[in-house]
Amino acid sequence: MVIWHAHPFIFRAVIPVTGQLTDPLPADASSPAAGPRRFPRIGIKPTVTACIMVIVVAGIGLTAWQQWSIAREATDELTRRNAQLVVDQVEGHLSHYLDPLTDYVDWIADLAAGREDLGVGNADSVRNLLAASVAALPQIVGAGVVPADGPTVGIVRTSDGRTVADANAGAARATMPPGIAEVGDAAAIWSRPAFDAQAAAPVVRLWRAVRRDGKFLGAVYAGVSFAGISEAVSDVSSRFNGTAFLLDGAGGVLAHPNLTSTHPDYAKGTTVIGLERSGDLVLQGLIERSSSGRPSGGGLTTIEAILDGTDYVGFLRPIRPVGENAWALGVWFLSTDMLGQRQRVIASAWIGLSLIAAALAMSWIAGNLIAEPIRETALAVKGLGQMDLDTVSQLPRSSIRELDDLATAFNSMRGALRLFGTYVPRSLVKRMVAAEGEQIESSEREVAIMFTDIVGFTTFSEGKGAAEVAEFLNDHFQILGRCVDNSSGTIDKYIGDALMAFWGAPEDMEDAPVRACYCAMAIADALERDNAKRRQEGLPPVYVRIGLHAGSALVGNIGAEGRVNYTVIGDNVNICQRVESLGREVDVPRNTTTILITDAVAQQLPSSMPFVHIGNFDVKGREEEIVVYRLVI
């Protein structure tokens, strides 16, 4: 008769396929929640860190005070040198931007001097020459030839980068310096700024007279926009903590970082932005006080002012004093005292931060050397207290003597416990630990019992050496033992090639028969996987007979004083062993693991586990027959 129930997958939804059945361990009576109130505790690492920091802070304070004093003494000289460096670099960059115009107008003047009417008779040829020549000088926004008594021919670079004929060349003639006819042959003169409609920006032009045999024939020019000059000034001043600028002789702002883009006043035809429209209130306040300036060496004039309670200092130097176009190059930043203090405070802060970083690193290293081994030891001891012997590894040696002694003692204890766990079931040890040393009394318990036996082991072991047989049995019991542990069972003993295990002790289990059946199914599955490997290696497969029974039995410590075994004894143990041996007599499938269960087990199985009735059998020592089933796997 076949008795079928629901598919076993339902069972596996209750008991995971991994075979891991976890029972909560007894609560730790020594936990903080269960024990008396404790005083606050401070970790070793923060304690060591705090001690080191207290020492270091004093050193940092002294160092910062010393740096502050040095800063106040040296700040004036450093500020002047810094200003000298800024002005020199801005002037050098400006010269690099403007000097090519001198060579350019000299070259154009020489070409024009060799042509009749300066070449303006063929205006297109002149424009093409000018357009081609300015391509290599992107700062030039316009160039042209102005005969003394003929039409002006010029080109202009528009705001979108195109080079076109200067339709307003007459405006360029209007900016020609009046005294250029009297200037020597090699002299070039900067004109007054003028707004160029096609370039859409104010332009300052460099003029060069053209002569032949001493006679004045006209002039040539090349112009640059203020926006380009502002970019040249801004490029250098941005590297410093100040603001550079370029002024014309009348106090207007020719170049400034604020003028790198089109100023709204340019759209109104304004050629030079006044101080009040530059957007730089500091510069405006300094120039208004320029009459009180004082020479400071290197051609610089120093101007100081207090604006809105903040001290500022500016430096001016005249440049390009050609004709009437004397310009002034300058830079301003925070006053000498404040800038010097700030720079020195920053330096002191960096030194202090470096010391703090070093102190933190030292304290972290020192804290780790002491605290980390202790923390690892605490975690490892906690693992050993839970009998987690497989995952707790040995502690490393330490260069600190006391910590090294601690690690050595722990490793010795770990080795002893692992050896202890080899001979005593770990579930039993966990209960003994939870009982804090109390004696586990023998008592009658409801348990499920398992016996296993290898089919044909006698034949299998013939002709093999003792070491080979022992190795095989160790591997075999490793597979079985893992399944028993995963189902929270307890291995009672190994009897030759047989294994005896039970469920329901030392912990009570209401589902002990279910766990035992699950363990038997897990053993069958594990052996099937292992047999697949053995077949690949040319080895014969291994099959076992498993007998399961449930009932009451005496469980506890059995033996003489000093040498006891935690075991189960009783009539039901003998019945289970007899059920296992029935696997030799009944008609069951071959070449597979056979699992026989008694009626006492079958009655407690869930509807998700199928089994087949194979008969009723007499058992020695019992009057009633026992009903035996085969668990379907």
Rg, C-alpha atoms of the chain: 51
Comparing 548 with 175, which gets the higher pLDDT? 548
The encoded tokens of residue 72 equal: 């106040």
Let me know: does 583 contact 547? Beta carbons within 8 Å.
yes
Other beta carbons within 10 Å of 343: 18
Instruction: Give mean pLDDT, residues 162-185.
Output: 78
Query: Can you give the pLDDT at residue 339?
Result: 53
What is the percent of the chain with per-residue pLDDT over 70, rounded to a whole number?
77
Q: Is the pLDDT of residue 423 over 70?
A: no
Comparing 576 with 175, which gets the higher pLDDT? 576
Residues pairing with 319 in the sheet: 327
Global pTM value: 0.43
How would you label 400-412 residue by residue, b for 16+ Cβ within 10 Å and e otherwise?
A: eeebeebbeebbe
Q: Is the pLDDT of residue 23 over 50?
A: no
Question: Which domains can be identified in the chain, with CATH numbers?
Answer: 2-25+440-631 (3.30.70.1230), 69-339 (3.30.450.20)
Q: Which residues contact 591 (CB under 8 A, 6 or more apart)?
A: 541, 543
pLDDT 10s digits, 24-59: 333 343 344 444 445 466 666 676 667 766 776 666
> According to the 3-state scheme, what is the secondary structure of 110-160?
HHHHCCHHHHHHHHHHHHHHHHHHHCCCCCEEEEEEEECCCCCEEEEECCC
> What is the C-alpha to C-alpha distance for residues 621 and 449, in angstroms, rounded to an integer?
18
Instruction: Give mean pLDDT, residues 449-478.
Output: 92
Comparing 396 with 426, which gets the higher pLDDT? 396
Comparing 266 with 134, which gets the higher pLDDT? 134
Query: Can you give the pLDDT at residue 307?
Result: 83
pLDDT interval class at 453 (50, 70, 90) = very high
Let me know: does 52 contact 356? Beta carbons within 8 Å.
no
The phi and psi torsions of 128 (rounded to 5 degrees) equal: -60, -40
Query: Can you give the pLDDT at residue 378?
Result: 79
